[in-house]
Amino acid sequence: MSLLLSPLFLYLLGMGLARLSKARRVWRKHSRFVPYMGALLLVGYFLLAISLFVDLDWVQGLVARLPGETGTEWMVNSGFIGFDATWPIEDQRVMFAIIAVFASFPFWFYLGVMSGFWLFGRSPRQTGILGLLR
């Protein structure tokens, strides 16, 4: 859930949601499955990512398992970059870049969902690009 790994994770999460939504049971009963589940996943992801970034108490058990001393350090450095990541971050340029990455989270998730629809199709009858390869 670091800032460097989040775009890839959100893209893959969106693709997984698109694939899951293609299931016949989900498609017939819930036509709004993707928007509702997508909103729920994004809210949960934002909650966890922001909690790690500002080092809230309820994520300390997770922080102990991650490389780095604090949640802020993990979010900024991802365990292999050496920026000074003590909270609060003093450098305004770094903080602006971090806010820009947080703001891009919905875009990466949306891109993953659209790519998943393109690959797998939107409904059970559609095959998507992968269906053309069969």
Range of the domain at 90: 6-132
Q: Is 132 exposed, middle or buried (0-12, 13-18, 19+ CB in 10 A)?
A: exposed
**Within a domain: residue 11?**
yes
**Within a domain: residue 63?**
yes
**Within a domain: residue 23?**
yes
**Within a domain: residue 111?**
yes
Instruction: Give the chain's domain count.
Output: 1
**Full pLDDT tens readout for the chain, 134 residues:** 688 889 999 999 999 998 888 876 666 666 788 888 899 999 999 999 888 888 888 888 887 887 777 777 777 776 666 666 665 667 788 788 888 989 999 999 999 999 999 998 887 778 888 777 76
**Within a domain: residue 16?**
yes
**Within a domain: residue 1?**
no
pTM: 0.83
CA distance 106 to 102: 9
